[in-house]
């Protein structure tokens, strides 16, 4: 991690390009972290945190420069930033887990939905522009084409999916007001 931070510092401090040095330095940081097995680093909102506190970031460079090139200032700044980024990631994941539980609670109120249909509706809540097909549903859930057709047709009959013309393939999209339909249909809040 220290090596990755120092790579970031080196490129951003040397400023070899006319534009994009900061972005390139962060990319190098993420690449070095990933190469050493720190795969989680690519999900950390480091760029956002740097932009939110640009003055502290720039001060870490200035303190390093004015203290004979002692990179301790930059290392401490970046380690604190990484710590905050991890905390932010935890908050984000907790929010997403709560949203998923909320969606599952809403779907639990429907009688007769199977697990595949619940999973599809959960996905549809997160991806309202996604298009579902028999083949895609069958492949995702490792079921026959006929089972996939039955699942999608049932969801369309419940007016949770809308069948769209699409040539030979049957295409289904989430209803425009899917979250409201789920609430109206007697599912739990």
Q: Establish if 103 belongs to a structural domain.
A: no
Q: Are residue 88 and residue 13 in the same domain, yes or no?
A: yes
Among 62, 93, 124, residue at a domain's last position = 93
Among 46, 66, 93, residue at a domain's last position = 93
Q: Are residue 81 and residue 54 in the same domain, yes or no?
A: yes
Q: What three-state secondary structure class fits 111?
A: coil
E-strand ranges in the chain read 132-133, 161-164, 171-174
> Tens digits of per-residue pLDDT, 126-175?
888 999 999 999 999 999 999 999 999 999 999 999 998 777 778 999 99
Domain at 135, CATH number? 1.10.10.10
Q: Establish if 101 belongs to a structural domain.
A: no
* 189 or 118, higher pLDDT: 118
Average pLDDT value for the chain: 89
Partners of 162 in the beta sheet? Answer: 173
* 144 or 181, higher pLDDT: 144
Query: What pLDDT, on the 0 to 100 scale, is given for residue 101?
Result: 77
Query: What pLDDT, on the 0 to 100 scale, is given for residue 114?
Result: 87
- Residue closest to 189 by CA, chosen among 120, 108, 68: 108
The answer to whether the CB of 78 falls within 8 A of the CB of 5 is yes
Query: What pLDDT, on the 0 to 100 scale, is given for residue 98?
Result: 84
Q: Are residue 131 and residue 82 in the same domain, yes or no?
A: no
Q: Are residue 86 and residue 127 in the same domain, yes or no?
A: no
Q: Are residue 128 and residue 171 in the same domain, yes or no?
A: yes
Q: Are residue 145 and residue 74 in the same domain, yes or no?
A: no
The first and second tokens of residue 9, run together, are 């510092």
Which residue carries 């740097």 as its tokens?
50
Q: Are residue 178 and residue 124 in the same domain, yes or no?
A: yes
> Tens digits of per-residue pLDDT, 41-90?
989 999 999 999 999 999 999 999 999 999 999 999 999 999 999 999 99
Q: Establish if 105 belongs to a structural domain.
A: no
The answer to whether the CB of 170 falls within 8 A of the CB of 155 is no
Which contacts (CB < 8 Å, 24+ apart) does range 118-127 have?
Answer: 120/151, 120/152, 120/155, 121/155, 121/160, 121/174, 121/178, 121/182, 124/160, 124/161, 124/174, 124/178, 125/174, 125/178, 125/179, 125/182, 127/174
Q: Establish if 99 belongs to a structural domain.
A: no
- pTM for the complete prediction? 0.62
Measure the CA–CA gap between 149 and 89, rounded to whole angstroms: 38
Centre a 10 Å sphere on the Cβ of residue 8 and count the other Cβ atoms it contains: 23
Q: Are residue 115 and residue 176 in the same domain, yes or no?
A: yes
Measure the CA–CA gap between 167 and 123, rounded to whole angstroms: 24
Among 93, 121, 148, residue at a domain's last position = 93
Sequence-distant (≥ 6) Cβ neighbours of residue 186 within 8 angstroms: 109, 110
Partners of 136 in the beta sheet? Answer: none
Which domain range does residue 67 map to?
2-93
Q: Establish if 33 belongs to a structural domain.
A: yes
Q: Establish if 152 belongs to a structural domain.
A: yes
């Amino acid at each position: 991690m220290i090596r990755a931070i120092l790579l970031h510092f080196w490129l951003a401090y040397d400023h070899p390009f006319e534009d994009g040095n900061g972005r390139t330095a962060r990319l190098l940081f993420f690449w070095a972290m990933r190469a050493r097995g720190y795969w989680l680093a690519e999900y950390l909102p480091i760029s956002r945190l740097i932009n939110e506190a640009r003055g502290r970031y720039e001060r870490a460079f200035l303190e390093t420069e004015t203290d004979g090139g002692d990179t301790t200032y930059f290392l401490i700044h970046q380690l604190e930033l990484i710590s905050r980024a991890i905390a932010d990631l935890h908050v984000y994941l907790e929010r997403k887990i709560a949203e998923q539980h909320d969606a599952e609670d809403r779907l639990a109120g429907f009688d007769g939905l199977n697990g595949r249909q619940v999973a599809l509706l959960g996905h549809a809540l997160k991806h309202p522009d996604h298009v579902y097909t028999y083949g895609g549903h069958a492949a995702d859930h490792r079921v026959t084409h006929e089972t996939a057709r039955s699942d999608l047709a049932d969801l369309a009959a419940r007016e949770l999916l809308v069948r769209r013309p699409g040539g030979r393939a049957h295409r289904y999209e989430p209803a425009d007001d899917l979250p409201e339909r789920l609430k109206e249909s007697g599912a739990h809040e």
